[in-house]
Chains A and B, each alone.
Chain A
Amino acid sequence: MSVEEVTQQTGDLNIEEQPTVFSSEKEFELKHPLNSKWTLWYTKPPVDKSESWSDLLRPVTSFTTVEEFWAIHNAIPKPRYLPFKSDYHLFREDIRPEWEDATNAQGGKWTYQFKGKTPEIDDLWMRSLLAVIGETIDEDESEINGVVINIRKNGYKIAIWTKSADNEEALTRIGSKFKTVLKLGEDSPLEFFPHSTASEKHPQPSLIL
């Protein structure tokens, strides 16, 4: 087989990829790719004592484009509709929303608890999702691993999980932006907890904004 023939056959090989706006500027139906693939996880509240954590935490779906994100976001129940003890987790790539995951092990979380009914919680959760998938909250390369909302009887908790827990400068920048996303005032402190302290009975935040 000649060099020309090999070149010809190689050119004919084509792995079908989804067309995006980057491959065609004229096509308006094309999708807008995100920086990462994101996976939505759901923690089902236990209704039976025999259910373990691994039974309750399940991946729901993954997406890689803005359009897919909106389709999923519009289809699933909003946080205010979820039963108590439910969690939504949105994590980058294949990171499991657990401290034990290698990508989370050395990290921590910026967290804020909204006490009471908090009627605007659906909007605040959506703003958090947009900030994370749009990468506007993350100046450095992929410092953020995911975002979590916990639905509890006494309120809601929204947290951003980071890859590291000791890069104070980067964490402070992320925390400041996250505080703006959550529309928190000066009297509402945002706290950072390293995952290494998560198993402590009364963990103390290492950073407060």
Chain B
Amino acid sequence: MIRFTEDELLQLKPETDGPVNFDVENFVAIIDKVKEIQSLQEEEFQQFHRRRSSHHHGRPKIKHLKPKITTDSEGWSTFEGAAARRKSTAQGANSDDEAPAAKEPVVIAQETLKVKPNKHISSTRPADSRDIVADKPTMNFNAFAALNSEEEEEEEEEEKRG
């Protein structure tokens, strides 16, 4: 059996291209034509049969930074902005060298939200159960209490003017 190693075959590789016994140009032309048709078919598929990238995976998840809401024992919720909770990542290890102003806590306006336990908007019932007590008409009028309150208001006004 005649054998040639890879190195022997590589040594016999001619520096110039030799003649071949078939129509290379025609062969390459067929391949180019197929590539052209495949490219057009791919383009057509992209244009008319395009599927959403999330087709098999449900809708894409967009992560939003949720605002922090703390609710106290009385049912009042405090909205804390995302910016207030976001820590500065630019601070390096030598943060002691920074200006003192930078260390001061950033004062951020806090918004207070009132949570409505009654979800039925059309209901005549007050949203907050405490409003039931506040709106309750007082049956007894205390005249002395009313007089005291007017005097106090006048004193306060005088103090401000003085």
Please list the residues of chain A having a beta carbon within 8 angstroms of any beta carbon in chain B: 32-35, 42, 44-45, 47, 60-63, 66-72, 74-77, 81-84, 86, 127, 130-131, 133-136, 141
Contacts and interface: CB of A to CB of B under 8 A. Distances in A.
A134 B5 contact: yes
A71 B17 contact: yes
Given A70-B13, A74-B17, A134 B3 contact: yes
B34 A61 contact: no
A121 B31 CA distance: 18
Interface of A is mostly: mixed
Contacts of B37: 47
A140 to B, nearest CB: 10
Contact of B2 (A42, A72, A135): A135
Closest 4 CB pairs of A and B: A71-B18, A134-B4, A61-B22, A35-B2
A77 B28 contact: yes
A148 to B, nearest CB: 17
B10 to A, nearest CB: 7
A75 B8 contact: no
Interface string B30-46: 11001101100100000
B12 interface: yes
A130 B20 contact: no
Contacts of B1: 35, 135, 141
A69 B13 CA distance: 9
A47 B18 contact: no
Contact of B4 (A42, A61, A72, A135): A135
Given A47-B41, A130-B4, 11 more contacts: A35-B3, A47-B38, A60-B22, A63-B21, A70-B14, A71-B14, A76-B28, A81-B31, A83-B34, A83-B35, A84-B38
A136 B2 contact: no
B38 A75 contact: no
A135 B8 CA distance: 12
B27 A60 contact: yes
Contacts of B41: 47
A135 B27 contact: no
B6 interface: yes
B108 interface: no
B24 interface: yes
A136 B8 CA distance: 11
A33 B14 CA distance: 15
A71 B19 contact: yes
29 contacts: A32-B4, A33-B2, A35-B2, A44-B30, A44-B34, A45-B34, A47-B34, A61-B20, A61-B22, A66-B4, A67-B14, A68-B20, A71-B14, A75-B17, A75-B24, A76-B24, A77-B31, A83-B31, A83-B35, A86-B31, A127-B6, A130-B4, A130-B6, A131-B6, A133-B9, A134-B4, A135-B1, A136-B3, A141-B1
A32 B35 CA distance: 36
Given A44-B34, A82-B31, A83-B38, A136 B5 contact: yes
Contacts of A69: 9
A134 B8 contact: yes
Contacts of A61: 20-22
B156 to A, nearest CB: 82
A180 to B, nearest CB: 11
Contacts of A60: 22, 27
